[in-house]
Structure 1
Amino acid sequence: MATEKFNLLSFTGKMKVLHLSWMAFFISFLVWFNFAPMLQAVKESLGLSSDEIKTLLILNVALTIPARVIIGMLTDKYGPRLVYSALLAICSIPCFMFALADSFIQAAIARFLLGFIGAGFVIGIRMVSEWFPHNELGTAEGIYGGWGNFGSAAAAFTLPTVAVLFGGEDGWRWAIGITGVISLLFAFVYYANVSNTPKGSTYFRPKNLGAMEVTSVPDFFFLLIMKLPMYAAIALLAWKLSPAGVDMLSQQVVNFIYLGMGLLYLLEVVKVWQVNKQVFTENVPELHKYSFKQVAVLDILYFTNFGSELAVVSMLPLFFAETFLLDPVLAGLVAGAYAFMNLMSRPAGGWISDKFGRKPTLMILTAGLAAGYALMGMVDGQWPLWLAVAIAMGCSFFVQSGEGAVFAVVPLIKRRMTGQIAGMTGAYGNVGAVTFLTILSFVDYHTFFYVIAATALVGLFTLIFMDEPRGQIAEVREDGTVELIDVSHQKA
């Protein structure tokens, strides 16, 4: 673990790794969200219908749920340096495919594959956890998440201008193509300038790549239950594309997807059994045990906070336009205040978590999130616009600080599985977005906000069962010796 001082203005040692990692995440989100600001131009250029545009937006997130789990496993096995560099380089290809697309099918395939770059977030969580001690980890992960997440806002601010500079009906192609070039070039920058651990530290790898390890029989079944919502969310996306939804896929194709999800889940059960069958016959030494409930609670919290963020960012401009009768440009600017909070809120959540404890911080921020969305549910056209914007920004603070606080805990559960735990937690955020956006298609805005507030209360209840990370976690080096890693200040 690097011991030099935490200095944001430094670009050496652990700070260099932090800065390059948030830049990699920033670029991954710049590429992932490069479509939304170009939506109207793409629609006109390719002659797409509104249903086809909606389908492209759905496809953009469809693959991210399984991708975050897969990328988390690969990160733990091969190290974040290689996996982040490879992801940025490989995902530039579908980015170029989309920029060159001249039909709906080509655009749809490219957007579906680009869902993979949305998994980049989980890689940096493991990288940052290797370089920062427990008392700085929340702050470092918050900066990584908050500043990197700003890539989506940067896409919205800059890409339309870039498209106008190039001009013509192909301006959007140049703007999107440039994000692919940035991604490809930064892959080489990242690989050349970081290492998985500080010099002399051990990079702990999981014993098996196929599934997450658990250390007790109840946790074996708990893991299988917690895997179900990820498959259900993909089935829900398929339903949205079915004749009952936007009618882009035939019922036969949708039924085939349902069957595929069922078979994949059965395959997952087999993999989890192969990796963990020994827990039914042997007792895991107390030193190496961890509690899967810690992961489950973080999954539920991230379902609510990041899931609601993705959903609310998608609908907030329309909410402000319709509620306060604003023109689309002004509504977009007002709604942008919600996303803009990410720059400071995520780092703040991590910093508060470092200073005042992981569990109390999560309880306060989750309660604030519930209250914030309950207030947003009360907003109507009679309210002053400034008050509605202030409530949206306050709610956004609790949402994004909560995300920072969640990932202040993730690396403290089991070091060698940090990528897998981050992958599953991150995937639950996408499951939340799919769930909330589906609910929005059936209810009014007020009910939508109340549903999120109620979900936050469920998260608050589950927090009762989470344990504050204390003492040390044990990992075994390749030579068989045990290393103890501090996860909290030691009490005398």
Structure 2
Amino acid sequence: MGFDISLLWRAPQVHPINRKAQSIPILNDLNLSSTQVANSNIISLCATLLLRCTAGPLCDRFGSRKVFVSLLMAGCLPIGLAPLVTSATGLYVCRFFIGILGATFVPCQVWCTAFFDKNVVGTANALSGGWGNAGGGVTYFIMPAVFDSLTMVRGLSASQAWRVTFVVPLICLIACGLGMYLLCPDTPLGSWQDRSQRIRENLDRFGSESPLETKTPDFVGEPPSRHEEEKGRGLEYASPSRLGNETTAATATTKCAASGSRPSSIISIVKAETIATPSFRDSWTVISSPQTLFHVATYACSFGSELAINSILSSYYEANFPHLNQTNASNYAAVFGFLNFVTRPLGGVVADILYNHSRRNLWTKKIWITTCGLLGGAILIVVGQVNPSAANGRDLSTLVGLVSLAAVFVEVGNGANFALVPHVHPSANGIVSGVTGGAGNLGGLVFAIIFRFMDHGRGYSTSLWIIGVIHLAVNLAVCWIPPLPKGQIGGR
């Protein structure tokens, strides 16, 4: 990938009469077609999909904070080198490695789960994830504003300006990475390396009045009774060898102490809710469980449709209302991402409220996820069928309103999903979070392909109602799955 230093300041070609630029600088500099730009987006999604699935087990093995910081700092390299790209191939490589940053979502959720108990973890996860998603909406305004400032105030050419704008995300990444590394703990109990010792100390302190050296059978706790099975509150079998390698989810001891549970039950719950060093066999068992597949399916629909719709929304507005210029269409499209400031946190908040007011019945969280999926799908069908446009006499506010309403339930569903994830296989939270997060990108790829090939990439309304139908079908297909595996210890 050769580098011509003049590309850092070469201006785009301009019209000889009105002196307006005849192309977007990055497209002109790199001689890119719209297809190549679309391909670069798909490559970035693929990279994030791969790395999210990988980040989950790494969180379980090395700790979420270290994985988080590593991904942030690794993402600095492609961001810093992006201005040096000179070809479509270089752009593909750069976008692939920039996809590293999309994987930070997984350690973010795992880290939040470690610090917040089950009664508020949905709110914590949804708030952190929602503000992360909303960053996409902020980017619509900040980056063009920086670009305009560089060209109009600083006098840089357009070709120089788009390259210099990459300094902004680079500084943010370095600041966040260093801040997290220097100021944040691994777990509520302190260092990741000392987690096992801290848990043992807490268990010994809590059980000092009752001997803990009771019999250690091949399973923890007692087999579930029929009544417990019906309520989904049985106990999960676990071998002592595996339990010996587990690491803490940190708040379990405190929670058990407050509940007044028997010491033997407390030990069982603490061990079952601590992070286990993942093996391939255990990982496959977790990934293939119906509960994990429920989250994979529903998150692929909700977050996948959000990604795909975000990528075409500006073009959809321009196609239906030709009087809009690119800037105005982008501003309206940015509303979709900005809603994440409220909608995704709302999904987690409502899930926690339902959970706490139903005496911690996890079916309420499960039903909330399914409800959001069905309503989001139904509204997408309405948007696709009504398809408000200037040609059929509808105004822009109708289209923006319908799309925003669909965004509410799609994004609320994202927050609701990760309000239930911490309860499922708590000893493998990183794996479940990683696979679920990766499924969101997989859904984005599938839906992006639908948009790309439907009516040669212009069939936006048809694609929307097809995606809505997929939402309905998938959510109904998995709605029967219980929220937790039968016989699971802890997670409630």
- Return the TM-score normalized by structure 2: 0.70
What pairs up with 1:305-384 in 2 under 5 angstroms?
A: 305-325=302-322, 326-356=324-354, 357-377=364-384, 378-381=386-389, 382=392, 383-384=394-395
Q: Deviations over 1:304-339 (max 9, x none)?
A: 111100000111111111112222222222222222
What pairs up with 1:90-489 in 2 under 5 angstroms?
A: 90-166=74-150, 167-168=156-157, 169-199=159-189, 200=198, 202-203=248-249, 204-210=274-280, 213=283, 223=288, 292-325=289-322, 326-356=324-354, 357-377=364-384, 378-381=386-389, 382=392, 383-443=394-454, 444-469=459-484, 474=489, 485-487=490-492
Offset at residue 196 of structure 1 (A): 2.5
Q: Deviations over 1:127-165 (max 9, x none)?
A: 111111111111111101101112212222111222233
Tell me which moved more, 123-132 or 195-204: 195-204
Question: In structure 2, what residue type is equivalent to 1:206?
Answer: A
Offset at residue 190 of structure 1 (A): 0.4
Offset at residue 212 of structure 1 (A): 5.2
Offset at residue 350 of structure 1 (A): 0.6
- Tell me the equivalent position of 1:482: none
Contact 2:57 2:278 in 1 (8 A): no
Q: Deviations over 1:319-375 (max 9, x none)?
A: 111112222222222222222111100111111111122122112211210111011
Question: In structure 2, what residue type is equivalent to 1:372?
Answer: I
Contact 1:297 1:462 in 2 (8 A): no
* Alignment CA distance shift 1:456-1:60 (3 Å): same
Contact 1:212 1:420 in 2 (8 A): no
Question: In structure 2, what residue type is equivalent to 1:346?
Answer: R
Offset at residue 208 of structure 1 (A): 2.9
Question: In structure 1, what residue type is equivalent to 2:102?
Answer: G
Q: Deviations over 1:158-179 (max 9, x none)?
A: 1122223332221111111331
Identity level (%): 26
Secondary structure of 1:134's partner?
A: coil
Contact 1:297 1:459 in 2 (8 A): no
Contact 1:163 1:175 in 2 (8 A): yes
* Alignment CA distance shift 1:171-1:365 (3 Å): same
Contact 1:73 1:209 in 2 (8 A): no
What pairs up with 1:84-95 in 2 under 5 angstroms?
A: 84-95=68-79
Q: Deviations over 1:213-248 (max 9, x none)?
A: 355xxx8xx83xxxxxxxxxxxxxxxxxxxxxxxxx
Name the CA distance, whole Å, in 2 between partners of 1:348 and 1:158.
Answer: 25
CA-based RMSD of the aligned residues comes to 2.2
Secondary structure of 1:181's partner?
A: helix
Secondary structure of 1:195's partner?
A: coil
Offset at residue 473 of structure 1 (A): 5.4
Tell me which moved more, 307-316 or 182-191: 182-191
Offset at residue 463 of structure 1 (A): 3.7
Offset at residue 472 of structure 1 (A): 9.8
Q: Deviations over 1:64-102 (max 9, x none)?
A: 111111111111110111111111111101111112223
Secondary structure of 1:170's partner?
A: helix
Question: In structure 1, what residue type is equivalent to 2:333?
Answer: A
- Tell me the equivalent position of 1:244: none
Name the CA distance, whole Å, in 2 between partners of 1:347 and 1:369.
Answer: 16
Question: In structure 2, what residue type is equivalent to 1:416?
Answer: S
Name the CA distance, whole Å, in 2 between partners of 1:212 and 1:380.
Answer: 50
Contact 1:130 1:196 in 2 (8 A): no
Name the CA distance, whole Å, in 2 between partners of 1:82 and 1:186.
Answer: 13
* Alignment CA distance shift 1:293-1:469 (3 Å): closer
Secondary structure of 1:63's partner?
A: helix
Name the CA distance, whole Å, in 2 between partners of 1:300 and 1:471.
Answer: 20
Name the CA distance, whole Å, in 1 between partners of 2:451 and 2:88.
Answer: 26
Secondary structure of 2:296's partner?
A: helix
Name the CA distance, whole Å, in 1 between partners of 2:434 and 2:491.
Answer: 23
Name the CA distance, whole Å, in 1 between partners of 2:344 and 2:485.
Answer: 23
Name the CA distance, whole Å, in 1 between partners of 2:453 and 2:41.
Answer: 18
Name the CA distance, whole Å, in 1 between partners of 2:315 and 2:464.
Answer: 14
- Return the TM-score normalized by structure 1: 0.70
Contact 1:74 1:209 in 2 (8 A): no
Contact 1:59 1:112 in 2 (8 A): yes
Relative to its length, the structure with more helix (as a share) is: 1
Name the CA distance, whole Å, in 2 between partners of 1:470 and 1:405.
Answer: 19
Name the CA distance, whole Å, in 1 between partners of 2:305 and 2:282.
Answer: 26
Tell me which moved more, 435-444 or 137-146: 435-444
* Alignment CA distance shift 1:447-1:90 (3 Å): same
